[in-house]
Amino acid sequence: MDYLLQGMFGEKSLTKVVAVFDDQASAEAVIGRLLRLPGMEPGQVRLAGPKDLRTHRADLFGRKMEPEQRGIFQTLLRTHVVTGFAGGVLGLVLYAYLMGSGHPMMVSSPLLAFIAIVGFSTTFGLMLGGLVAMRPDHIRVITQVRTALRSGRWAVVVHPTDGHQADLAQEALQASSANVMRTL
């Protein structure tokens, strides 16, 4: 499943596992354990603290939470292409079915029916692509982390590259008795 999703998204890490800690020392201790997980690289684990929310460092917070800026742009393109194409194909299948059934409205205006059905299904596919590209699950986690940092707490953000690595990271963070959040 990870392989199929990776083709639609331009990012290497599709999931974020985040833990919020009361102090910096606890957060740094967990980072050491996370880096010992199989396949985990130093760039996949990031520490965010209250200082990262300052106005002149706002970009730093964004890069810690979403480090693959180029991948996000590729995700935007890929999701729209894939879902728009899928919507168009479904529209063609629906059009062929309705034409084959001899529906009177289809037979009387086949060109207008084709434009309406395929056009709307492609449009709905593109809208679905926009929803997928917005990543509402990431927005929820980022908002909660930002709130925690404003209250003086620290966050460890893990960017696993597959489902197994995400599960291992989540287990390691939960073992530290921290508040753990995960995107889809």
Q: For 78-107, what is each residue's pLDDT tens digit?
A: 889 989 999 999 999 999 999 999 888 888
17 within 8 A of 182, measured Cβ to Cβ = yes
Label residue 161 by pLDDT band (50, 70, 90): confident
SS (H, E, C) the chain: CHHHHHHHCCCCCCCCEEEEECCHHHHHHHHHHHHCCCCCCHHHEEEECHHHHCHHHHHHHHHHHCCCHHHHHHHHHHHHHHHHHHHHHHHHHHHHHHHHCCCHHHHHCHHHHHHHHHHHHHHHHHHHHHHHHHCHHHHHHHHHHHHHHHCCCEEEEECCCCHHHHHHHHHHHHHCCCEEEECC
Residue 67 has pLDDT above 60, yes or no: no
Over residues 156-175, the mean pLDDT reads 82
Over residues 30-57, the mean pLDDT reads 78
* Other CB atoms within 10 A of residue 51 CB: 10
Over residues 37-65, the mean pLDDT reads 72
Which residue in 15, 17, 20, 13 sits closest to 145, CA to CA?
A: 20
